[in-house]
Structure 1
Amino acid sequence: MDTKQSSIIDELTWRGLVKQYTSLERITSAQQNKAGVYCGFDPTADSLHVGHLIPITLLKRFKLFGFDPIALIGGGTGMIGDPSFKSQERVLQTAQQVKVNTDAITKQLKGIIPEVKFANNYDWLKELTLLNFLRDIGKDFTLAYLLNKESIKTRIETGLSVTEFSYTILQAYDFYQLYQNYNCQVQIGGSDQWGNITSGTDLIGAKVGRDQTKAAGLTINLLTKKDGKKFGKTESGAVWLDAQKTSVYEFYQFWFNQDDLDAYQMLKFFTFLSQSEIEDLKTKADAQPQLRLMQVKLAEEMTLFVHHEQGLKSAQNITNAFFNGDLKNLNDEELKVVFHSIPSGRISSGSFLIDGLVTSKAAGSKREAREFLQSGAISINGEVINDENFVLSTDLALNHQYLFIKRGKRKFFGLDLKTRK
């Protein structure tokens, strides 16, 4: 990352991140004064996913350009849920679940971006009575103003409760609180947050004076993939930042499996590589596309950022083991990751391999399993097996538990032979 850029706006612009901002002058002033900048994270789940990585990396980018970044955890607003551009009303979570999610994502964020400050809007929203909310905040918003918000307007016909209708006012109040108590002058978010962000800048202007306010907002482009599919989704679902939900190997592979055009864009959106480093990498990748240089670098940078050196090392070990077809040198934890990252099943020691092939989904039927065995397409932990009467044993298993079946050159399947009481 080249912090010699004249401003954070210049940096975000060449990366293709800037969508809108309310005032270039105020953002520039905030950078010069090392003021606060914040982004909110509502605890809708007990882990963030790769879609959150743009705002997470944004906070670090602002830090590198002299700002004082704040990650705001929505322990209060999470009780309601942001209705912005959602097709229907959110199902409210219990207070207990919101607390669990809040604690989980706070810990997660602190592990990824420990250099930023943290705040929780529950700390001030819990003190806000209904009467104070109506008198001190509600009076600064008109119905016409709120109904003109695109995020609200799109939900009026399908139904919008007063609860969700009030969300944008609460988020505006968050910005006001941070502005007053944390010297926070800039709010950032995805382009779907423009209405909420401008509600905040307008509320601060109403409170401190339109000619006195230093508050500004900036939104970033939402990443869209070349094929039009939603970023961050795979056939198996969301790609989580929690290694217990998405293993370090699967996380690494998510980035490695991007095509060239998407990988190039993601290097700009997500990594801290400089413009010249990315362009040099693209030139080399164009000359030797078979090496997938951009994808390798993207996978390394993002796995290192989220899961640190140990996570990257583990992901690389597993990737190399799959590529070489030899899983014997993986440690116990890596073996577990491999097992849960491939089609697998559980079967008793002493069962026939032919049954294990069907159980693990390596074969669709016993007839197909026999064909695979007869053609020499099946190997167990690196050893080719063609005997359809072969019996499975824990003596053959790695860690006395796992059998890894390779079908052909690249298809892996797993069997758990562990005996349980």
Structure 2
Amino acid sequence: MLDITEIREHPQRVERALAKRAVHIDLTAFLALDEKCRHGKTEAETLRAERKKISREIAQQDPAGPDAIAKRAEATELGDRLTTLEEQLNGLTAERQAFLDQLPNLPDEDVPSGGKEQNQVVREHGTRPDFDFEAQNHVDLARRLGLIDYERGVKLGGTGNWVYRGNGALLEWALLNFFLETHVRDGYELILPPHLLTYQAGYTAGQFPKFAEDVFAVEQGPAGPQRFLLPTSETALVNLHRDEVLPEAELPRKYVAYSPCYRREAGSYRAADRGTLRGHQFNKVEMFQFAHPDASDTAHEELLARAAALVETLGLHHRITRLAAEDTSAAMAKTFDVEVWLPSINAYVEVSSVSNARDYQARRGNIRYRPETGKPAHVHTLNGSGLATSRLVPALLEQHQQPDGTITVPAVLQRWLGCESLTPAPNR
């Protein structure tokens, strides 16, 4: 949620920032509504103070006396006015909050305007693989090596699902073990969150109310999904300290979580989406930080470096891209994507998004820190995939394929798979 003080004091600046997302809005009407809310709140406080004063005066008088009777009548009239005013104020406040809930975060100054065509490549690592043999695509490789069963995945769960099996399951689990072991070793606390979350969890993350249709709802309520399957561990992790005040000395709080991610998006018949590139369920390790505002940018750089280092250790050619404002998710102020090269589609695919929400999520979740002096202030929240596997596995298969049809297993994964290369599995 945006800082309402920022909107009041710098409405034109807010309008310009939102325009970078193609959200064109005139805040004049909202500011008038806000003024009504503030005026109504002041009037209500005045009426409450007057009623308390009258109550004290009545207590000092003869209950049956004419002055006390008149004062009680005045108190009743004040109470009726206050009730009417509070009903009006509740309606105005709800209208103001509904408007704020629909506004996305303000993109940082260095975030380019526009859609994904304006994304900026920051740097590349390594060179694209150049095969001197007829390279295969990841779907054919996975089938021939017996790593992924696409047909039985559809049979079990419908389109957008697959089954890892044999060495494919071991490869998936090796990646998750490698990621978690690395993050825990470096000081991130491991969290295994529930897969069912409440509406308030989705609201704090910035998913609700605007994007409620994007999740798998288990229970519906008046405001939207009362419980839903988590679309990413970030949605759970950002709520760990909801309605809490953290000691300043404990910042940053660093967490890492593993979970499947459940998305309503479906696969397609396009080459760019086939196999495991897009589906309803995939595995992801998520990094998350609750950071001091002054250390927010440093935390963002750390998370990005961690995600990129994992891809580099796996021996994959990749690049870092700064997302343009319209391609940045609504709750985030800035996002960098780590993208691996997929030869079969001649394109890069994202395996990690590393984002800084500034205080947007913290305001929605009332997450603050207490400095040694001064009042509590909102923390900054940051997240980064570390990493997602459904696009990483295709990149591993394609970039590490050999002329004899085998796949070289990265050295860091070999102890979990017990082999240096993946070879064809028996027919099943």
Q: TM-score range, shorter-chain basis?
A: under 0.3
- Point out the structure with max Rg over C-alpha: 2
- Please give the TM-score of this superposition, normalised by the length of structure 2: 0.22
Larger fraction in helix = 1
Larger fraction in strand = 2
